[in-house]
Copies of this chain bind each other. A is one copy, B any other.
């Protein structure tokens, strides 16, 4: 008698690819972080700085998602790290199938950590799993402190929130931004979210982010559960 599979979820094509990527990355023991933010919050600058500062400690590769241009991949390659460019040609988010292809074009055996820089968009990428180990959301202080309340999905789903460009807060009253409000609103949506206020430009606060990355790469190498 054939057993019935009860409650088996039917996966979308994107979810199928995401699951495949997730299993592949787990087998390879590679940490993979999906960076999501509005355009211009500083994702590429954070990545370039992180790669340079962690040189000699961990090896990082990047999958760059952009609608057009390869400006960002060029900036990553200038640090010496490998980067694969995906141009979506108009599409507002990366898909898991694109990541599956891109992973084949990175020198994975040499890498400890793969960053995916998603298309600049605080909304759509949060709805498409790529098989990443975790999501990292970036919010620049220039965008305002109401963003977790107004765009809750990505703050609810991310493991880490980087509050970037905090150097702008040191410059008098140019930017009105209450870091404590952002922390409180983000934690209302996501109790366990790690929040690091940073400036990728001046390096303020970046060591806490680096420590978290090193700890997480170690955990992934050891096959420890990574609580998303």
Residues of A participating in the B interface, judged by any CB pair closer than 8 Å = 38-41, 66-69, 71, 90, 92, 119-124, 127, 140, 142-144, 146-147, 149-153, 165, 167-168, 171-172, 174-175
Question: Once the chains bind, are A39 and B143 in contact (CB under 8 Å)?
Answer: yes
Q: How many copies does the complex hold?
A: 2
Interface of A is mostly: loop
- B168 in contact with A123 (CB, 8 Å): no
**Residue among B68, B124, B146 making CB contact with A149, cutoff 8 Å:** B68
Q: Which residue of B is nearest A93, CB measured?
A: B123
The CA of A15 and the CA of B127, in the complex, are separated in Å by 25
Of B40, B150, B174, which is within 8 A of A140 by CB?
B40
Minimum CB–CB distance from A119 to chain B (whole Å) comes to 7
Contact between chains at B92 and A123 (CB < 8 Å): yes
- How long is the Cα–Cα vector from A167 to B174 in the complex, in angstroms? 8
Whose C-beta in chain B lies nearest to the C-beta of A71?
A: B146
Q: Which of A39, A123, A142, A147 counts the most B-chain CB atoms under 10 A from its CB? A: A39
CB–CB B92/A150 < 8 A: no
